[in-house]
Amino acid sequence: MEFEVVRRDITRFPAEAIVNAANKYLEHGGGVAYAIAKAATGDVREYIRISKEAMREQIGRDHIEHGEVVVTPAMRLEKYGIKYVIHTVGPYCGGVWDEDKKEKLRKAILGALKKADELGVKSIAFPAISAGIYGCPLEEVVKTFKEVVEEFSKEAKSVERVYLVLYSEDAYRTAVETLGLL
């Protein structure tokens, strides 16, 4: 399985599935969740409605827990080759990192990877889940992401390429330095 860190806009990244770093109610009010919702439909409120409907159908309640995922169609993102948006919930850190938060992040990443494999996609793109408005240290998010991808690669059936897609140059530089890729 290939793993790559790239600097791009995840809403235009040509992976078959992209991951949305959502809150547990799938109310896409800021950060990457807002950007994906806006790009997918043009109307964030409409995307929230679609996401909540999918959550009720797939999970059977009005929220998701760490490790659970909800899948929505890509809608307007299909023009970039994206077929699915996989919504997952990472931990809220507020600048504090510990083993509990790492485990919640692990579950969020692994849940999305397993769902992508179940959907039969070959490529999946992730944002730095919880490193933005949830305040988790980017270095720890990147290290955890790489660990989970390496662990998952032993069981993957269809997923061949995993991308960590970072929007800013600073975040990209921090990630590649953290992973020793420079």
Given this model, what pLDDT does residue 181 score? 85
Confidence of residue 177 (pLDDT cuts 50, 70, 90): very high
d(CA 55, CA 62): 7
Is there a contact between 12 and 33 (Cβ–Cβ < 8 Å)?
A: no
The CATH number of the domain holding residue 68 is 3.40.220.10
d(CA 174, CA 170): 6
What count of other Cβ atoms lies within 10 Å of the Cβ of residue 126? 30
In the numeric block, the tokens 């409409």 are attached to 46
What count of other Cβ atoms lies within 10 Å of the Cβ of residue 69? 24
In terms of residue numbers, what domain contains 118?
A: 2-178
pTM exceeds 0.75, yes or no: yes
Query: How many separate domains does the chain show?
Result: 1
- The per-residue pLDDT for range 19-62, each reduced to its tens digit, is 999 999 999 888 899 999 999 999 999 999 999 999 999 999 99
